[in-house]
Amino acid sequence: MVISTAWLYKIPHSGGQTSGNADIAVVQIGSDYESFPLSTNQWVGCNGAVNTASYRLQAQWSTLSFAFALQSHTPPDLVVEWTVIADGATIYSGTAKPGDPFERLELDVFGVRDLQFTARTDSICGTADKGYAALVQGYVAAR
């Protein structure tokens, strides 16, 4: 039984540019675009640089639920490598391109004090007011 939840952007965090902030993610699904309020923004490091967003879970949560997706303003040929790191150990990694189907993930974060998301591309990026990626309706839950 879930006893408590929190949107990921409400967890104390730090990160480059808009990483970790609340976002209404606009994501391509097929030929349509859909909006996902209550999402968390993730800046993508360009030209091989890594952007990291850090969340202080303080061992208070057991599950992390989210879908990693690239938003509608992402350049069409961009390929992003991303990871989820819990207390220094990689617990998930993936790649994403604009328009890729995305799936909701549920990761075990029981006992984790520090959680990080990293995102990078080898490509040159354009200018943007917010990060290309989103943790779609990401939240943590305690049991």
Q: Is 109 within a domain?
A: yes
If one counts the domains in the chain, the total is: 1
Element (H, E) at 68: strand 63-70
Q: Where residue 122 sits, what CATH number does that domain have?
A: 2.60.120.1060
Q: Is 75 inside a domain boundary?
A: yes
Let me know if residue 31 belongs to a domain: yes
Sequential pLDDT tens for the chain (143 residues) = 668 999 999 999 998 888 999 999 999 998 999 999 999 999 999 999 999 999 999 999 999 999 999 999 999 999 999 999 999 999 999 999 999 998 999 999 999 999 999 999 999 998 999 999 999 999 999 98
Report if residue 108 sits inside a domain. Answer: yes
Q: Would you say residue 96 lies in a domain?
A: yes
Domain that holds residue 35: 4-138
Decide if 124 is inside a domain: yes
Please report whether residue 90 resides in a domain.
yes
Q: Is 143 contained in some domain?
A: no
d(CA 5, CA 62): 10
- CA 125, distance to chain mean position in Å, is 18
